[in-house]
Structure 1
Amino acid sequence: MRLFVAQRQRRVPYRVQLSLLGLLLILAGCGGNTEEEPLVREPVTLTLMAFNIGETWEQAEGYAIEQFQLQEPNISFEQRPFNQAPQQAMTSTPAPDLMTSGAYSFLHQAAQSGLVIDLSELWAETGLNEAFSPGFQQLSAYEGKQYYLPVAFAWTGIYYNRQLFADYGLQPPTTWDEFIQICDQLKAYGEIPLSLSGQDAWMSMLWFDYLDLRLNGADVHRALLQGQLPYSDARIQNVIETWQMLFANGYFVERPELVGSLDAIHNIVRGDNGLIGRQKSAMILTGPFWMSDVPDVFRAELDFFPFPTMNANVAPAEVVTTLGYMAPRSGTHPEATLAFLRFMGSLEGQTAMAQQLGAATLWAPARSDIDGELLSTAVKQGMALTAEAPNLFSPFVLSLPNAA
């Protein structure tokens, strides 16, 4: 039998063997070439309008753009600073193809006016509804459609001096009653419980945001921001009275209207021997963006915890500052614009950003599936803070009409 097979094999002509070998090589070559062709085949320059966000973000975005251009070498970028109101920029000639912004009130106004591209199809095609938490889905939507692509966010928490808490045997509180008890204990020890900058509306109004969200919930807060609920409503008056109580009890620094943002942060630093921060305090409600102005040696003293719960019947909600993209409808290169947004929303794109941002303590990736090994402890804490919150809100000052 083996002899028969061998004889049959020898009868295959040599030319046929060569032909079969050539065919196999061709098929192997076809199967091994997995590189995708660029979506955009002609040279295109996208105009990206952005705020002066800072060197950390700009370097990360630049790196992500380089990774994108490996796939789409025909797409280049021209940076344009925000030198006019967003509404004017979107209707200018020529209009930018992309705008770096947050999911602020202007996004809803632009969507309502038909000024931005509906990204719902892109979200569905690329599985972003699974990649982003419900909070980010809601924050990026207007009337059930997606008009925004979140890339990164800065969380909000109550930052505190860990050594000071340890010295007095204090643990981060989880309820409002525990928080008030800690404030009273700190006062009894001669400490100022809370730092605050009255010169920074962004920072100071975070107290109003969180008191309303914790007492009344997301629906009431959203109705207030959208002008559907008056400030004279009894529930809002309760928020204001609770806030006033914190001042009346002497929990805040004296004369906060004279305290600048950086001074307010420096107040909770203790290892400086009194060189920075004039009213040393234990805690401050803020986001991580101010931490970049604190020297590393002092930043190591600080940690943060979520704003305490006040009403067990209210679902958790958090305040975040987002960075991402929206696409003006009047842009001239929609195909290339959508290709870039598709990349920046992908795991690959946001991993590229996280590789540059993750070691810092400022921005967390919007996607929930980024490799945790790329992220700092603080960033992972910030992501955990928002992961379970079905509702996310922009800070009060960015939720007002015409906020960009």
Structure 2
Amino acid sequence: MKLKTLLTASAIGALFMTQASAGTLVINSNQSDPAPKAAWGEIIADFEAANPDIEVRLNEYDHEGYKSAIRNWLVTSPPDIVFWFAGNRMKYFVDRGLFEPVSDVWADNNMDRTFASTRASMSVEGEQYGVPATYYQWGIYYNADIFDELGLSEPTTWDEFMNVNQTLKDNGYTPITIGTKFLWTAAGWFDYLNLRTNGLDFHIDLMDGKIPYTDERVRATFENWRQLIDAGYFLENHASYSWQEAQAPLLNGEAGMYLMGNFLTPSFPEGSNFDFFQFPQIDPSVGMFEDAPTDTVHIPARASNKEDAKRFLAYVAQADVQTKLNLGLNQLPPNANAEAGDNTFLQQGLDMLSEADGTAQFYDRDTDPAMAAEGMKGFQEFMVNPDRLDAILTNLERVRQRVFR
């Protein structure tokens, strides 16, 4: 194997070995943890075996070092391939002319069809700027023993969901557990309620600062949210709990449901009875869009070996490659023709995301960081004191105007 692992974050200062001769493909990676490092190592070795005229030079960074370094070398001495994230984090570099459009890779490999659910999160003004490598689902995880005890079925509509909540409450259970101490869990509720109320295009326009937070359609999202708050369906004192601490009521049989990402599932005890369902439909005229945080692969605009870089992107997009990669990562392949691991939650997630009408990333990945920080404060405040909605939206609109001017 010709793969060379060169750098860690401590070697950033000695980095700029990225320019290379023809036939050498330089990749900068943030996949330095043991499992992703091994999974990507196999994929890159396979790529070299399938492309003997290309030698890969791999530079590895820890996560935090990578976030700092990428902003520097994209404008100075970029590699040929970088790993990054979809949504607003990608758009930040696209807007500054630092990522290469790769719509031709999408067209040549029929990716509009096989990556339909992630296309929007990889696109800016109709052009695609990378390839999705891996993602995971969000949805509602529930205690199936409690559902069985009460004769409850997985709800698919808002009315059914409200009935499930009320039945749980009437029988002494907390319907929905949540910990908003660190704010981002409340953003998950905003995302889903807004996607189900107003759809993906509206949601992305709001994330891009194109729609006022005082818009009546945003208020409609909060009105739906308030139904759950006023009915007392959320865990009491949730602002005191982290997301990990909020797992306890679900696991010990005190709460029925938890809206969370699939990273929750390793906490389920061996032999326990938990299950998953898609966030219910609110408006039948609005598509079923999902939050699916996505890790991606990109070509810097100033890369020196774009031809081989496009070959690598096309390789990563292949269904069999995505299957192998995500088996190693224990996550989901964005390619609709790929296969998920032999895990009930991964299988459910793959089915759901493959059929989704489109995907968002997550509130703090989809909007400007300054907007996200204030937005998540506002969401938590609303859950604690919904009567302050007017003041919250006025403040968020003030922040939007400042951030997106």
Compared with structure 1, are the counterparts of its residues 51 and 237 closer, same or farther at alpha carbon in structure 2 (3 Å cutoff)? Answer: farther
Match of 1:392 among 356, 359, 371: 359
Amino acid at match of 2:28: L
1:141 and 2:123 correspond: yes
Verify: 1:308 aligned to 2:280, yes or no.
Answer: yes
- CA distance 1:62–1:230, shift in 2 (3 Å): same
Tell me how far apart the structure 2 counterparts of residues 205 and 284 of structure 1 sit (CA, whole Å).
14
Distance 1:173 1:232, change over 3 A: same
Aligned equivalent of 2:251: 269
Q: Partner of 2:61 in structure 1?
A: 80
Tell me the secondary structure at the aligned position of residue 60 of structure 1: helix
Residue 62 (structure 1) aligns with: 41
Overall identity of the aligned pairs, in %: 27
1:143-222 map, 5 Å: 143-222=125-204
Separation in 2 of the partners of 1:282 and 1:55? 34
Distance 2:120 2:203 in 1: 14
Q: Distance in 1 between matches of 2:287 and 2:297?
A: 28
Change (3 A) 1:56 1:189: farther
Aligned to 1:107: 90
Partners of 2:124 and 2:147 lie apart in 1 by: 43
Asked if 1:369 is matched to 2:337, the reply is yes
Does the Cα contact within 8 Å between 1:97 and 1:337 map onto a contact in 2? yes
Change in Cα spacing, 1:224 to 1:136, as seen in structure 2 (3 Å) is same
Determine which of 281, 289, 305 is the counterpart of 1:317. Answer: 289
Residues 202 and 63 of structure 1: CA distance in aligned 2, closer, same or farther (over 3 Å): farther
* Amino acid in the other structure paired with 1:79: E
Letter of the 1:351 partner, please give it: T
2:192 alignment partner, SS class = helix
Please report the RMSD computed on the Cα atoms of aligned residues, expressed in angstroms.
Answer: 2.5
Q: TM-score, normalised by structure 2?
A: 0.79
For residues 349 and 159 of structure 1, what CA distance do their matches in structure 2 show? 29
Paired residues, number: 348
Residue 257 of structure 2 corresponds to 283
In 1, the alpha carbon distance for the partners of 2:29 and 2:21 equals 24
Q: Does 1:91 align with 2:74?
A: yes
Distance 1:201 1:90, change over 3 A: farther
Q: Which amino acid aligns with 2:80?
A: D
Alpha-carbon spacing, 1:106–1:268, altered in 2? closer, same or farther (3 Å):
same
Query: How far apart in 1 are the matches of 2:56 and 2:201?
Result: 42
Alignment of 1:297 onto 2:264: no
Answer yes or no: is the 8 Å Cα contact 2:333–2:339 preserved in 1: no
Report if the CA contact (8 A) 1:214-1:309 is conserved.
yes
- The answer for unaligned runs of 5 or more in structure 2 is 1-19, 373-405
Q: For 1:384 and 1:255, how far apart are their aligned partners in 2?
A: 35
Structure 1 match to 2:213: 231
* 1:57/1:295 CA distance change after superposition, 3 Å: farther
Which amino acid is the alignment partner of residue 90 of structure 2? Answer: L
SS in structure 1 at match of 2:251: coil
- Judging changes above 3 Å, is the alpha-carbon distance between structure 1 residues 306 and 371 closer, same or farther for their aligned structure 2 residues? closer
Equivalent position amino acid for 2:319 in 1: L
Which letter does structure 2 place at the counterpart of 1:369?
Answer: N
AA aligned to 2:114 is A
Aligned to 2:110: 127
The one of 374, 380, 383 aligned to 2:347: 380
Once the 2 structures are TM-superposed, how far is the Cα of residue 295 of structure 1 from its aligned partner?
Answer: 5.1
- The one-letter amino acid of 1:78's match is N
Instruction: Tell me if structure 2 keeps the 8 A contact 1:202–1:395.
Output: no
User: Is contact 2:99–2:300 with CA below 8 Å preserved after alignment?
Assistant: yes
For the pair 1:49 / 2:33, whether they are aligned, the reply is no
Structure 2 match to 1:343: 315
SS at match of 2:245: helix
SS in 2 for 1:297: coil
Structure 1: 5+ residue stretches without partners: 1-39, 272-279
Work out whether residues 135 and 292 of structure 2, in 8 Å CA contact, stay in contact via their aligned partners in 1: yes
C-alpha offsets along residues 338-364 of structure 1, whole Å, 9 cap, x if unaligned? 23222111233213214424xx4xx11
SS in structure 2 of the partner of residue 263 of structure 1: coil
